[in-house]
Amino acid sequence: MNEQIYYTKNLPFYGKYDVIVVGGGPAGVCAAISAGRLGLKVLLAEATGMLGGMATAGLVQPFMTVYDRDGDEPTVGGIYREIIERLDEFSAVVYPEETDSPSIYTSFIKKYHRHVTPFHSYMLQVVLDKMVQEANVEVMLYTRFSDCICEDEHIKYLVLSALEGLISVSGEIIIDCTGNADVAAASGVYTYKGDEESGVPQPATLMFEVGNAEYQKSERPTLPVKAYRTPRKGVYSVNHYHVYSVDATNSKSMSDAHRCARLQVLDAYRVLREETPGFENCELFQVASVLGVRESRHIDGVYKITVDDIAKGTKHSDRIAVYVFGMDVHSRNKNETGNFKIEVAKRYYIPYRSMLPKRVNNLLVAGKTISCESQAAGGLRCMPCAMAMGQAAGPAAFLSVNTKKTVNEIDISMLQSILKENKAILD
Ligand SMILES: Cc1cc2nc3c(=O)[nH]c(=O)nc-3n(C[C@H](O)[C@H](O)[C@H](O)COP(=O)(O)OP(=O)(O)OC[C@H]3O[C@@H](n4cnc5c(N)ncnc54)[C@H](O)[C@@H]3O)c2cc1C
């Protein structure tokens, strides 16, 4: 692809916002809600036709554990908790208090899986639609971030690919929640993909659901199809097979991987029906519309969370969230086995500095692409953790806009007190 063409075009200017959140997954939705509730003018641009990211389009379930390593105390509150309470209005969730492991909700996995939150993915779309609307967030679905125009380490304009064509918008603060660090990469932030040495990311998986099934024993059968019970009786979410070395920032790589994963789903479905007691008559209910990508880019941030931080539970003074899940690194190639290789602390902490990219002063990053070592991302990538980070990005943007300070200069103790007022857990 050496040949290049030069192209200029005047883009319609769609509007000026206090905050533009790019990507409406677990991190992006919580960032937009928390910023909107503080009275900021917020635009949320999402590439697909729904909010929720991996939780909805990716059919990833359940929300991983929200309790500490030993299952004693909750680690995530705030907007995550509101979301599950709203899901409960539709009888579309099982509260984490009711799902200690091992259980059908965790496919009988014991370690690190205490108190997960099974939910109904369609109802989640509906709940998220309502919550962003109530927070006065302007939502543009089917709108993909394409590029940005920067000046003096500042993002001046975003170029979005809307259905009507390319448009431009400006925001005082941009929050990149794309799961690919697309805005960060386009604005010149250094990013890296996958494992530090090999560059190989965790594998991808196409999630699907089957109905008319029920485990026959109180343990997973010997065949390793991982099926997690959803809140609906007989309906299981299946997380099986891997596609290796997928580059989620490359259309060709994603196309090849998605095609391969489609066939893997058929094979997993066959194994369930032919070899899994209780699943003999199961039916393929739905298959995710997007490929599940566990790992893509990580940003080079002001602080990089290390494996050591996760193992020892380093209590950063600028912490904006607590989380605990084991460092779940799925095999990066066919020959590798085993995850959860290093024991984690009872609780570990996410510092604000890990959401701050170097070099750009009006950009925050939340979700699975924050600045951390690849292995550390094995735990930090979970959806409740992404939600907690997103919830923190909103008030950080608010403080920056209101005090006319850059995102690097805001008062962290004020950020922490806003988070605590809104039931986020920091200790
Ligand atoms: C197979 C698999 C199984 C998993 N299992 C679990 C589990 O059981 N429990 C758990 O808690 N976590 C699990 N995870 C991890 C979790 O799903 C993700 O890490 C989490 O969703 C990350 O949230 P996010 O908001 O950072 O990104 P995402 O959920 O990826 O959301 C990113 C959003 O940004 C949008 N977007 C992307 N690019 C652009 C762009 N250029 N412009 C506009 N929008 C854009 C996407 O469409 C998407 O909506 C799993 C992940 C995978 C892949």
Q: Which atom of ligand 1 is nearest to the CA of 384?
A: 11
Q: Which of 234-238, 332-336, 376-380, 421-425 has the lowest mean pLDDT?
A: 332-336
Determine if ligand 1 sits within 6 Å of the CB of residue 96: no
Residue 5 lies in a domain: no
pTM of the model: 0.98
- Domain assignment present for residue 8? The answer is no
The reported pLDDT for the residue numbered 331 is: 86
Say if residues 307 and 314 touch (Cβ distance below 8 Å).
Answer: no
Three-point CA angle 45, 51, 56, nearest 5°:
145
How confident is the prediction for the chain on average, in pLDDT? 96
Residue 248 has pLDDT above 70, yes or no: yes
Quick one: pLDDT band at residue 338, thresholds 50, 70, 90? low
For the cut 70, the answer to whether the pLDDT of residue 65 exceeds it is: yes
Confirm if 115 and 96 have CB atoms less than 8 A apart.
yes
Q: Does residue 4 lie in a domain region?
A: no
From 30, 48, 54, 264, mutation site for ligand 1 pocket: most ligand atoms within 8 A of C-beta? 54
Mean pLDDT of 205-219: 94
Atom of ligand 1 nearest to the CA of 367: 26
Instruction: Give the whole-angstrom CA distance, residue 47 versus residue 51.
Output: 9
Q: Which among 330, 270, 381 is positioned nearest to 25, based on CA atoms?
A: 381
Specify whether 361 is located in the same domain as 396: yes
CA of 55 to the centre of ligand 1 (A): 7
d(CA 322, CA 267): 38
Q: Is there an atom of ligand 1 within 6 Å of 178 CB?
A: yes
Q: Which residue has the CA at smallest separation from atom 41 of ligand 1?
A: 145
On the question of pLDDT at 281 being above 80, the answer is yes
Q: Is 203 in the pocket of ligand 1 (CB under 6 A)?
A: no
pLDDT in tens, 104-147: 999 999 889 999 999 999 999 999 999 999 999 999 999 999 99
Closest of 212, 36, 238, 26 to residue 125, by C-alpha? 26
Give nearest CA residue, ligand 1 atom 45: 23
- Kindly state whether residues 285 and 336 are assigned to the same domain: no
Query: pLDDT digit string (tens) for 136-152?
Result: 999 999 999 999 999 99
Distance CA 369, CA 179 (A): 6
Centre of ligand 1 from the C-alpha of residue 4, in Å? 32
Tell me if 46 CB under 6 Å of ligand 1. Answer: yes
pLDDT score recorded for residue 341: 81
Q: What is the pLDDT of residue 177?
A: 99
CB-ligand 1 contact for 205 (6 Å cutoff): yes
Q: Is the domain of 414 the same as that of 312? A: yes
180 and 166 belong to one structural domain: yes
| pLDDT tens track for 364-382 | 999 999 999 999 999 999 9
CATH number at residue 27: 3.50.50.60
CB atoms within 10 A of CB 170: 18
**Same-domain check for residues 93 and 179:** yes
Cα 229 to ligand 1 centroid, rounded to whole Å:
20
Task: Kindly indicate the confidence band of residue 153, based on its pLDDT and cuts at 50, 70 and 90.
Answer: very high
Task: List the domain range (segments joined by +) for residue 392.
Answer: 14-98+118-197+294-421
Q: Does the CB atom of residue 230 touch ligand 1 within 6 A? A: no
Domain-embedded: residue 151: yes
Distance, CA of 242 to CA of 336 (rounded, Å): 12
Domain boundary (274, 292, 310) is at: 292
Ligand 1 mutation pick, 178, 230, 258, 354, max ligand atoms within 8 A of CB? 178
Q: Confirm or reject: Cβ of 32 under 6 Å from ligand 1.
A: no
Atom of ligand 1 nearest to the CA of 27: 25
Q: What is the pLDDT of residues 307-320, one digit of tens each?
A: 999 999 999 999 99
Q: Which of 260, 276, 292 is the last residue of a domain?
A: 292
Measured in Å, residue 379 CA sits from the centre of ligand 1 at 13
242 and 226: one domain? yes
Give the pair of three-digit tokens for residue 305.
């969370």
Tell me, yes or no, whether 1 lies in a domain.
no
**CA 280–ligand 1 middle distance (angstroms):** 31
Determine, yes or no, domain membership for 111: no
310 within some domain: yes
- Overall number of domains in the chain: 2
